[in-house]
Structure 1
Amino acid sequence: MDKYTELLLGQTNEELKEKEKVWALYSHVAKSMPALAKHWNEFYPEAKEQMKQLIAEIKKLNEEARGSAKKP
């Protein structure tokens, strides 16, 4: 998990690893069981917003990591 988080986000720590786990699990469920993800999103709108924020944060960190990796 350390290496995966480091490669994806450019850094690793316990907080980022936990966020990565939540993101990975939610992404898997959303792709493999979309009806369940839809149910969760409708039943727990606050959690849906938190997940959207988490996804945006991971995307931003990933883009920053990729951008810094390309620079010599």
Structure 2
Amino acid sequence: MEKEFLQQFDALLEKYSELLVGTSDDAVKEKVRFYALYSHIAKTMPALAKHWNGMYPEAKNRIIEIMNEVKVLNEQHRKSKLK
């Protein structure tokens, strides 16, 4: 892939992370990346997500943790904006 596109797409992910959870540091941005991609896969190809969950139960548990972390961060971010 071309470097310019990768930088531009990273900027999109950074802004998405910032708007979703209030921060875009690298660790959180990576969690948001997994959150967004897994959410999309689960919605568009639920059978694939179910198959993967069955094949990799430890990874399934980790993705659940990541999803919950992002949801909590999102809720905290939304509450902080109301103040």
TM-score (norm 1): 0.95
1:68 is matched with which residue? Answer: 80
Does 2:14 correspond to 1:41? no
1:17 is matched with which residue? Answer: 29
RMSD over equivalenced CA pairs, Å: 0.6
**Separation of aligned partners in 1, 2:59 and 2:52:** 8
**Runs ≥4 residues deviating over 4 A:** none
5+ residue gaps, structure 1, are: none
Larger Rg: 2
Residues 14-63 of structure 1, C-alpha deviation per residue, up to 9 Å, x if partnerless? 11111111111111110000000000000000000001100110000000
Instruction: Provide the identity percentage.
Output: 54
5+ residue gaps, structure 2, are: 1-12
TM-score (norm 2): 0.83
